Amino acid sequence: MEREVLLTGIGGQGVQLAARILACAAALEDRHVMMLGVYGGSMRGGNTDSTLVVGDAPLGSPPIVSRAWSALVMHPQFWPPLCARLRAGAVVVLNSSLFDGELERSTHRVFEVPATELAARIGNPMAASMVATGAFARVTGLVHLDSLLAGMRESLPSYRRQHLELNERALRAGFDAAPAAAAPAWADEEAA
């Protein structure tokens, strides 16, 4: 079984780091993983997307997919083109602190998480992507919390090591704020 995850936001929100953390966590759980990050014309404020494919066997899909099982949406600006790539019934975890766009709730399973607000409460609104990533893991069970935390420790660049504790708190805050296994990725596993 393969699960495709599309991540989108604006540059500077941590979308690429979130994708790397999910990929690393899945690899730590002995899943097969492919990832592709795409950046817009500028580092901050431009479009940033990432595609992650996770499977329980060698992957048949490249990390460029026309249809996806799920999405993590940090900002509404680039939601319309991403939405068009989701399958009917796709799992969508979105940052409701910023999202004001229209959603097809009858088409997708939408889980709203006030990621920016929760990140501000723990001390840094810049950790919103970590909050959303924790929520995504809880909703889908794509990876377990322990693997997610280990993936964050392995993925955080050396020049950002001072943020380890904050990122861990943010991942836990998102995980705690979301419903457990509301849209399980793996039929045979429980969410952590």
Torsion of CA 32, 87, 110, 91, to 10 degrees: -20
Q: Token pair for residue 82?
A: 């991403």
Domain residue extents for the chain? 2-177
Burial class, 142, CB count within 10 angstroms (exposed 0-12 / middle 13-18 / buried 19+): buried
The DSSP code for 61 is: S
Question: How far from chain centre, in Å, is Cα 65?
Answer: 16
pTM for this one? 0.93
CATH number for the domain whose boundaries are 2-177? 3.40.920.10
21 pLDDT more than 80: yes
Model confidence over 105-126: pLDDT tens digits?
A: 789 999 999 999 999 999 999 9
Say which amino acid occupies 95. Answer: N
What is the spatial distance between Cα 158 and Cα 139, in angstroms, rounded to a whole number? Answer: 30
State the pLDDT confidence band at 187, using cuts at 50, 70 and 90: confident
The pair phi, psi for residue 144, each rounded to 5°, is -85, 155
**3-state secondary structure at position 63:** coil
Model confidence over 23-51: pLDDT tens digits?
A: 999 999 999 999 999 876 655 678 899 99
| Nearest alpha carbon to residue 28 among 190, 189, 142, 128 | 142
